[in-house]
Structure 1
Amino acid sequence: MANQKEKLFSNFPPVSTEEWMAKITADLKGADFEKKLVWRTNEGFNVNPFYRNEDIEGLNTLESLPGVFPYVRGTKKDNDWYTRQDINVIDFKAANAKALDVLNKGITSLSFAIKSEEVTADNIKTLLKDICPEAVELNFSTCHKKSVELTKIVADYYKELDVDVMKCFGSINYDAFKPLLKKGRDCGDWVEQAATIVKASASLPRFRVLSVNAHLTSDGGAYIYQELGYALANGNQLLSKLIEAGLDAALVAKKIKFNFGISGNYFMEIAKFRAARWLWAEIVDAYQPLCNHDCPNKSEGGICRCAAKIYTHAQTSMFNKTIYDAHVNLLRTQTEAMSATLAGVNSLTVRPFDETYKESDDFSERIARNQQLLLKEECHFDKVTDPSAGSYYIENLTVSIAEQAWKLFLEVDELGFYDALKANTVQTAVKASANNRVKALATRREVLLGTNQYPNFTEVAASKIMKETSGCGCGCSSEGAPYEALPADRLATSYEELRLATEKSGKTPTVFMLTIGNLGMRLARSQFSANFFGCAGYKIVDNLGFDTVEAGVKAAREKKADIIVLCSSDDEYATFAPEAYNLVKGKEIFVVAGAPACTEELKAQGIENFVNVKSNVLETLKSFSSKLGI
């Protein structure tokens, strides 16, 4: 068998990079390689169409092993992660019953969101009744003003239970900068409050009580390098200020938890988590935290290597989720979950697919749980640590994202994350990125299936929307706030507002495809136009073709068309377009599908409307809706 393999490989001699480039150049037939095949990312670096072994020579990331500083390949030697479900606590007995139920369905981590006015010792006892804190990761969040009180109550509860606290993992989601990020309000004396909460959690050494909620910037529309760069600046601000306040560096580092979002950029997200472990380890190591325990994981100088291990929770993004064609959200969350788990996160929340328009129900929560369980039980993602290691592509992505995020970190850290927020630097940058992505969606340079490409023409959604916004959960108002908050809209918001306006108008415009002439071109353009106008929720009437323009216009009027779209070839438009335009005579909106060479001649004859691949889909549809009185 070995001889057969040797013979097989001998039939395929190695191909050099020069030979690959020669073949690619020949196939491009004179087209520019850089323009055609090299991808300029939103993160500010280029991605080549192929990578080879020589592209990873000399990369520091290749020298790392799982569980070994600087932890590029993972902070642990296995790839198990906590399967988490978030529970919004309305009724404490009901929340407890739900928690006990889902713990029997594969969940190993729970997160409870509690209203500030309901943070009491009795409520916590009710909430955690019959839940063994040594067997499940427990996480809590409330308004930041009540986080210290919540921490003390949880610490007292664990003490009363007399459990082994070294087996109890969890977190208190105290985010010192959330008021600024979400509401544009100052954090007050956050250093004192953060120090107090660290001290209050002293009896819970495995509890992380200082949160870096990077998912807020991700959900706001930030690019991947921005999410990571700002997260590092956030974490370093906590670390440096609390050390200045007299707290031990190793203690503070072990109290910080990073909560990341996961976008749909599959390979880059894998690289992001790898880069995050690496960069955070270097930041913590710069403080030279001393190890105060008899631990094998320390340097010769007694520097604590455990403190440099980042603790990452990940949750699927909300920014790219949609109301229309919402089941596509399942595909999005599944690839996002794959990115995070392959990258080696500590815990993961897959958000239910219907969260964009209603409170999740038993069905959507069950599906979300099972998405993680499938990755464990059927795909065995928990059995392989950092499978992307050595990948020419992902290793290069890891280094490139690390470089961009580090550059941003240094820029923000020079001012300080807190001061950068008060200067609106972070919010303005994230808003600019979100706006760029919205523009890309409007012109279809970025695609959301079912929203700006291949919409479900007949779907209606107004009746299923049961909530407008998710809010921040603390009840604090942003009215009159002195600082900017992060953007709150999702990527699809503008499209959805346009389509909902069509639904609520009580009149659905009819778009008629007047297909004529060249068979291939008319079919291609009618399909393009149907997808184009379907994004606004218009009724689409397609056709196989007409022998004459007059017959097409007549059929359109029989269907009571509001818009007539002429679909033919560029050569035939010079004849067909003026004829159709004169027959329409302004009774319907007349549109030409394409950008023919005779466009200027057609415009000179009064034809105004053209749709093609260069059109701004969103703005064009808004103008049509305005003309139709929607």
Structure 2
Amino acid sequence: MSKALFNNFDEVSSKQWKQKIQMDLKGADYNDTLIWHTNEGIDVKPFYHADELDVTTNPSFSKATEFEICQSIFVAHTQKSNAKAIDAISRGAESIEFIIPSEDVIIKDLLKEIDSTSTPITFKLLFLSSEYIKTIPTQNTTIQTDIIGHLAKTGNWFKNLNDDHKQFESIVKHTNTFTVNAGLYQNAGANMIQQLAYTLAHTNEYFNHLSSLIEFSNKEILKVIINISVGTNYFFEIAKLRALRILFQTLSSEYGFNSNCQINVTPTKRNKTIYDYNTNLLRTTTECMSAILGGANNITNLAYDSIYHKDNEFGERIARNQLLVLKEESYFDKVDNPADGAYYIESLTTQLCDKALELFKDIESNGGFLSQLKTGTIQKKIKESASKEQAQFDSGELTLLGTNKHPNPQDKMKDNLEIYPFVKINPVKTLIEPIIEKRLAETLEQQRLNQEQSTNK
């Protein structure tokens, strides 16, 4: 084609578009009618235009075509977990995450007949032991270590600050890897600005510590893994992951560390429900789509029944197949960075970066992430955000279909709960107040369960 399309048409500026919209509103206020205000303090406009972008958009360097489908396996029994991993690989899993609860697990037996050269293996340890790490082969394997994440979630170090940091140093020197488990913040109710800023501040604590070690010289090959959760705010979640990568590159370059991080994504638990549970499939599907388009390296889907059922073959197979359908039948593996150049997403990405960086600087100027965890500032801010979101759910402003809108009164669940799906109260002494994960629907679901029980009496 010798001529570009639409060359005969005059360009229309954003100002002209707005004037036309204002005219069509017939007196209604543009801002009140069409501007959507988010909990992050971002005003979402009805349209976006190239002349409103502050800077020319730069291409992102992540590749949507290279995302891996991960199967997560909790190792309660070594032989059974080994068999489950082999089966998952044969059914489409491209990487395996083993969650190791104790040092009793023998790695050699766990990896029997698994070719780690073709299938990347991740070991997520629920304990801290630099000696145990040495039993894990290094070829195409990753070991996840996050002592600060453990402190934030449980309120305590594994042992104490000094011992944990010594173990951490030893593990990082051996593996050239550390992990930031940032999914906690989303699952506890933090808004997106907080999620990004807290993840950055969390990472900065490790960068600060490693930079202070004279003998640590592996800056350029250090691999940082960020585990993060995504919700159903589709375009915002795409922008959040893009912003995370930009912010990490900005921070790591200041220290001289490797500017590429690995982003592992799991759908959030916060919006999942036990009633009308099949809607969880719809939620996780859009969440996985956001993860792919946002540039996730590794995606572990959440089974639709994971909050109330024990691990089961059906739920795990469906979760894995959701990703397989997206990859092999919906062609999500055919185009790299399809979100690049979309004015709306580019604008969201820029705003999330700017606001998160501002909050990060505030955290650092007030003592840093660890200091604010100890004073309870981080916990307080997350609670405030979670309470605001909870109020929106309770009032119906935020909808979970089948739970606070169009619930099915015939849906009964009290005899279908294999695991306790609500916040557990564990009265133990902690060094700091832990950050507690809580689903939006918990109180409403407990009321419905109580009604079921009273009806059957």
Q: Provide Cα deviations, 1:99-148, integer angstroms capped at 9, x if missing partner.
A: 111111111111111222524xxx211110011111111111222333x2
Q: Is 1:496–2:445 an aligned residue pair?
A: yes
Q: Which of these residues, 59, 68, 86, is aligned with residue 72 of structure 2?
A: 86
Matches within 5 A, 1:221-240: 221-240=189-208
> 1:191: which partner in 2?
165
- Looking at structure 2, the residues matched to 260 and 435 of structure 1 have their Cα atoms a distance apart, in angstroms, of 21
Determine whether 1:481 maps to 2:426: no
Aligned AA for 2:161? G
Q: What is the deviation of 1:200?
A: 2.7
> Judging changes above 3 Å, is the alpha-carbon distance between structure 1 residues 32 and 507 closer, same or farther for their aligned structure 2 residues?
farther
Structure 2 partner of 1:174: 145
Q: Quote the offset at 1:80 in angstroms.
A: 0.8
SS at match of 2:142: strand
| Change beyond 3 A, Cα 1:374–1:171 | same
CA, structure 1 residues 488+275, in 2 after alignment: closer, same or farther (shift >3 Å)?
Answer: closer
Equivalent pairs counted in the alignment come to 453
Partner of 2:402: 450
Q: Pick one of 367, 371, 374 that aligns with 1:419.
A: 371
Matched residue, 1:320: 271
Provide the C-alpha distance between the structure 2 equivalents of 1:200 and 1:10, rounded to a whole number of angstroms.
60
- Cα shift at 1:343: 1.4
Task: State the partner residue of 1:518.
Answer: none
Q: Residue type of the partner of 2:444?
A: Y
State the SS of the aligned residue for 1:279.
helix
Question: Do 1:214 and 1:259's aligned partners in 2 also have CA atoms closer than 8 Å?
Answer: yes
1:459 maps to what in 2?
Answer: 411
Map 1:416-565 → 2, pairs under 5 A: 416-469=368-421, 479-506=428-455
2:185, 2:382 within 8 Å by CA — same for their partners in 1? yes
Q: Cα deviations across residues 294-352 of structure 1 (Å, max 9, x unaligned)? A: xxxxxxxxxxxxx1012111111111101001110000000000001011111000010
For residue 506 of structure 1, report the CA deviation from its aligned partner: 1.7
- The equivalent position to 1:244 in structure 2, one of 212, 217, 226, is 212
Structure-2 separation of matches of 1:249 and 1:49: 50
Q: Is the Cα–Cα contact under 8 Å of residues 422 and 442 in structure 2 kept in the other structure?
A: no
Deviations 1:10-65 (A, max 9, x none): 78654443332233223323222212211121112212111111122524xx1x34
Q: 1:149 aligns with which of 109, 131, 137?
A: 131
What is the one-letter code of the residue matched to 1:177? I
Root mean square deviation of aligned Cα: 2.3
C-alpha contact (below 8 Å) 1:277/1:310 kept by paired residues:
yes
- What residue in structure 1 maps to residue 248 of structure 2? 280
Q: 1:377-392, aligned counterparts within 5 Å?
A: 377-392=328-343
Task: Tell me how far 1:179 sits from its aligned partner.
Answer: 3.1
Give SS of 1:360's match.
Answer: coil
**TM-score, normalised to structure 2's length?**
0.93
User: Mind listing any 5+ residue stretches in structure 2 that lack a counterpart?
Assistant: none
The letter of the residue matching 1:149 is: E
Q: Tell me, yes or no, if the aligned pair for 1:239 and 1:249 is still in contact at 8 Å.
A: no
Q: Is the Cα contact below 8 Å between 1:74 and 1:277 reproduced in 2?
A: no
CA drift of 1:435 comes to: 1.1
Instruction: State the distance in 2 between where 1:271 and 1:416 align.
Output: 25
User: Offset at 1:381?
Assistant: 1.4
Partner of 1:129: 112
Q: Structure 1 250/469 Cα, relative in aligned 2: closer, same or farther at 3 Å?
A: farther
Distance 1:494 1:253 in 2: 46
Q: Which residue identity does 1:466 align to in structure 2?
A: E
Q: Deviations over 1:546-579 (max 9, x none)?
A: xxxxxxxxxxxxxxxxxxxxxxxxxxxxxxxxxx
Q: Equivalent residue of 1:116, what SS?
A: coil
- CA contact under 8 A between 1:342 and 1:386: conserved in structure 2? yes
1:286-305 pair list within 5 angstroms = 286-289=254-257
Q: Per the alignment, in what secondary structure is the counterpart of residue 333 of structure 1?
A: helix
Residues 525-558 of structure 1 deviation map (CA, whole Å, 9 limit, x = unaligned): xxxxxxxxxxxxxxxxxxxxxxxxxxxxxxxxxx
Q: Name stretches of at least 5 consecutive residues in structure 1 with no aligned partner.
A: 66-72, 159-164, 290-306, 509-630
1:256 is aligned, of 202, 207, 224, to 224
| Distance in 1 of aligned mates of 2:397 and 2:423 | 30
Q: 1:279 to 1:178 in 2, by over 3 A?
A: closer
AA partner of residue 283 (structure 1): L
- Higher relative contact order, structure no. (Cα contacts within 8 Å, ≥ 6 residues apart): 2
Measured in 1, the distance between the counterparts of 2:301 and 2:418 equals 21
Rounded Cα–Cα distance in structure 2 between residues aligned with 1:12 and 1:478: 69
For 2:305, the equivalent position in structure 1 comes to 354
1:26 aligns with: 23
Q: Distance in 1 between matches of 2:381 and 2:220?
A: 29
Contact kept? 2:219, 2:256, Cα under 8 Å: no
Contact 1:285 1:308 survives alignment (8 Å) = yes
Amino acid paired to 2:150: P
In 2, the alpha carbon distance for the partners of 1:353 and 1:239 equals 37
Counterpart of 1:480 in structure 2: which amino acid?
A: K
Report whether the alignment pairs 1:408 with 2:359: yes
For the Cα contact (< 8 Å) 1:181–1:485, is it kept in 2?
A: yes
- Which residue type is aligned with residue 74 of structure 1? F
Larger radius of gyration: 1
Letter in 1 for 2:334: K
Query: Could you report, residue by residue, the CA deviation over 1:271-314 in whole angstroms, capped at 9, with x for unpaired residues?
Result: 1111111111111111235xxxxxxxxxxxxxxxxx10121111
SS in 2 for 1:463: coil
Offset at residue 84 of structure 1 (A): 0.2
**Deviation of the 1:483 alpha carbon:** 1.7
Q: Which moved more, 1:210-219 or 1:34-43?
A: 34-43
1:162 equivalent in structure 2: none
Q: What letter matches 1:129 in structure 2?
A: K
d(CA) in 2 for partners of 1:425 and 1:331? Answer: 35
Matched, 1:215 2:183: yes
Partner of 1:269: 237
Aligned mates of 1:319, 1:249 — CA distance in 2: 40
Q: 1:130 to 1:359 in 2, by over 3 A?
A: same
Cα distance between partner residues in 2 of 1:12 and 1:374 = 41
Q: CA deviation at 1:431?
A: 1.4
CA distance in 2, matches of 1:54, 1:248: 46
| Other structure's SS at 1:311 match | strand
Q: Distance in 2 between matches of 1:272 and 1:471?
A: 27
What amino acid sits opposite 1:339 in the alignment? S
Aligned partner of 2:61 among 74, 82, 95 = 74
Structure-2 change in CA distance of 1:24 and 1:333 (3 Å): same
